[in-house]
């Protein structure tokens, strides 16, 4: 990595994720941010080169906290459209049971690339479907992501409670609990990087209370504690889930989570919608993180995450697109706009601002994933930076470029830097032929869907 300095000069606006002044841009050296340049000032350090950013908005690289990459193969599938969560899952599990290695590799590359093209430098994925022959799905994901140059938190998901035992998924996609725990330890030992500048980190993620046993929830928590890695699961997404937990365990989802030793700051939860006021206080006291998924929650009519209440209680809030079968796109900057619109319905226009939702997508997400070197623009942070061009019809006439980035609906990044290296330039990935990837992915999607739809 070169030690030459690069000045991202005179941007139209900068969102730093903090109170520091970078109105005249920032200076990069190697993999890190060297200097923020205040308004009207020149860099203190020697500059080797610069980029004129006068028609661009700069943000930290966006960070996605929850996704299911494989679901890009099942967008808008007939039979799953216009259904709430449980019927939607019951139909799609029959399709996902036929996933293979080529499908996982292609879906991972396409989903991560889609995220990167929307300004995302760090992705998270929750893969929990392991039909026979796909036992090495996470290894395949690591290999796929290495071709893209983005950071990732990959979660080793799991399902052990099939239909025959009262669970939701078919028995064909579940695994034995010994297999799950052994593979979880293998993946941590092989891939988990604890450094601040890590590209790959591993977390453990039983799918949900209705797809794994209580014993597996408890043993996964023990394994995560032993290895000092994070825990992740879906929780309180729908009232159906609350009713399931009351029926099967005699308690609400959060009480069940606590009974499994999950109520601590190692845990982050996907969705987090249907909590009582008392439960919100307990979550905050435990410093549990929340992956806020507005588009998915609206598409499946699940509800609205109480973000501000959770924040006030002490939770970190990150933004997430969720799986492409319940969102149908993987666009983080568009997700920030969805959060703005949805959350204003609950908390009002004065509280939910462009800065607030961009904060969820950057600093908040970094806090959820325990990535302190990411999510902000300040000296010595990793140089993960998104540059959004204002050279589009949708931005003509704007008075506040930063607000326009969210409210006018930016959907693509012009440049994306990860660890000081450009991965996206002129809206194209430096190493990926997009048309070829799309053609391959589409063929595999047709193959997968034909297994059920004919």
Helix (H, G, I), strand (E, B) or coil at 302: coil
Q: Do 242 and 223 belong together in one domain? A: yes
Looking up tokens 């949708």, which residue turns up?
Answer: 394
Is 144 within the bounds of a domain?
A: yes
User: The domain containing residue 202 runs over which residues?
Assistant: 62-368
Q: Do 37 and 108 belong together in one domain? A: no
Q: Do 15 and 66 belong together in one domain? A: no
Q: Do 9 and 70 belong together in one domain? A: no
Q: Do 82 and 197 belong together in one domain? A: yes
Is 412 within the bounds of a domain?
A: yes
CATH number at residue 213: 3.20.20.140
Q: Do 221 and 288 belong together in one domain? A: yes
Q: Do 39 and 130 belong together in one domain? A: no
Q: Do 266 and 380 belong together in one domain? A: no
Question: CA distances (Å), 207 to each of 66, 161, 285, in order?
Answer: 12, 10, 24
Q: Which residues of the chain have pLDDT under 70?
A: 1, 454
Q: Do 214 and 256 belong together in one domain? A: yes
Last residue of a domain, one of 349, 368, 387: 368
Cα 69 from Cα 8, distance rounded (Å): 32
Question: CA distances (Å), 338 to each of 55, 141, 150, 304, 354, in order?
Answer: 24, 28, 24, 11, 11
Phi, psi angles (nearest 5°) of residue 402? -65, -45
Is 450 within the bounds of a domain?
A: no
Is 437 within the bounds of a domain?
A: no
Is 25 within the bounds of a domain?
A: yes
Cα 305 from Cα 325, distance rounded (Å): 20
Phi, psi angles (nearest 5°) of residue 161? -110, 95
Helix (H, G, I), strand (E, B) or coil at 66: coil
Q: Do 246 and 357 belong together in one domain? A: yes
DSSP H or E segment with residue 170: none
Last residue of a domain, one of 318, 351, 368: 368
Is 413 within the bounds of a domain?
A: yes
Number of folded domains that form the chain: 2
CATH number at residue 44: 2.30.40.10
State the pLDDT at residue 28. Answer: 98
State the pLDDT at residue 1. Answer: 58
pTM score over 0.95: yes
Last residue of a domain, one of 341, 368, 395: 368
Is 435 within the bounds of a domain?
A: no
| Dmax (CA) of the chain | 68
Q: Do 352 and 391 belong together in one domain? A: no
Is 439 within the bounds of a domain?
A: no
Q: Do 269 and 328 belong together in one domain? A: yes
């Amino acid at each position: 990595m070169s030690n030459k300095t690069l000045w991202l000069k005179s941007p139209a606006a900068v969102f730093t994720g903090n109170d520091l002044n970078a109105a005249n841009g920032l200076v990069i050296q190697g993999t890190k941010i060297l200097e923020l340049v205040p308004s009207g000032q020149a860099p203190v350090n020697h500059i080797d080169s610069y980029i004129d950013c006068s028609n661009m908005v700069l943000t930290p690289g966006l960070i996605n906290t929850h996704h299911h990459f494989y679901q890009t193969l099942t967008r808008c599938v007939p039979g799953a459209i216009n259904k709430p969560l449980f019927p939607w899952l019951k139909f799609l599990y029959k399709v996902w049971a036929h996933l293979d290695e080529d499908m996982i590799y292609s879906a991972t590359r396409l989903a991560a690339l889609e995220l990167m093209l929307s300004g995302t430098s760090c992705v998270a994925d929750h893969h929990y479907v392991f039909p026979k022959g796909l036992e090495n799905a996470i290894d395949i994901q690591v290999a796929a992501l290495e071709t893209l140059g983005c950071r990732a938190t990959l979660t080793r998901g799991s399902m052990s409670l099939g239909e025959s035992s009262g669970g939701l998924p078919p028995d064909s996609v579940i695994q034995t609990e010994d297999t799950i725990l052994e593979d979880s330890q293998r993946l941590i030992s092989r891939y988990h990087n604890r450094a601040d500048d890590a590209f790959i980190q591993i977390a453990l993620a039983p799918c949900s209370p209705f797809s794994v046993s209580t014993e597996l929830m408890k043993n996964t928590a023990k394994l995560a504690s032993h290895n000092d890695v994070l825990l992740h699961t879906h929780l309180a997404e729908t009232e159906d889930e609350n009713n399931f937990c009351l029926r099967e365990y005699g308690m609400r989802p959060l009480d069940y989570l606590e009974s499994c030793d999950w109520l601590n700051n190692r845990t982050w939860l996907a969705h987090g919608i249907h909590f009582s006021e008392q439960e919100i206080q307990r979550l905050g006291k435990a410093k549990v993180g929340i992956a806020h998924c507005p588009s998915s929650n609206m598409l499946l009519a699940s509800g609205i995450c109480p973000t501000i209440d959770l924040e006030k209680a002490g939770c970190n809030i990150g933004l997430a697109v969720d799986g492409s079968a319940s969102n149908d796109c993987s666009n983080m900057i568009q997700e920030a706009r969805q959060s703005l619109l949805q959350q204003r319905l609950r908390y009002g226009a004065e509280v939910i601002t462009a800065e607030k939702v961009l904060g969820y997508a950057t600093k908040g997400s970094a806090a959820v994933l325990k990535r302190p070197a990411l999510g902000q623009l300040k000296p010595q942070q990793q140089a993960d930076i998104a540059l959004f061009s204002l050279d589009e019809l949708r931005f003509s006439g704007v008075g506040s470029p930063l607000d326009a980035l969210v409210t006018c609906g930016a959907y693509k990044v012009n440049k994306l830097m990860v660890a000081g290296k450009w991965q996206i330039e002129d809206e194209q990935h430096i190493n990926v032929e997009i048309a070829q990837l799309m053609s391959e992915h589409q063929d595999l999607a047709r193959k997968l869907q034909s297994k059920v739809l004919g």
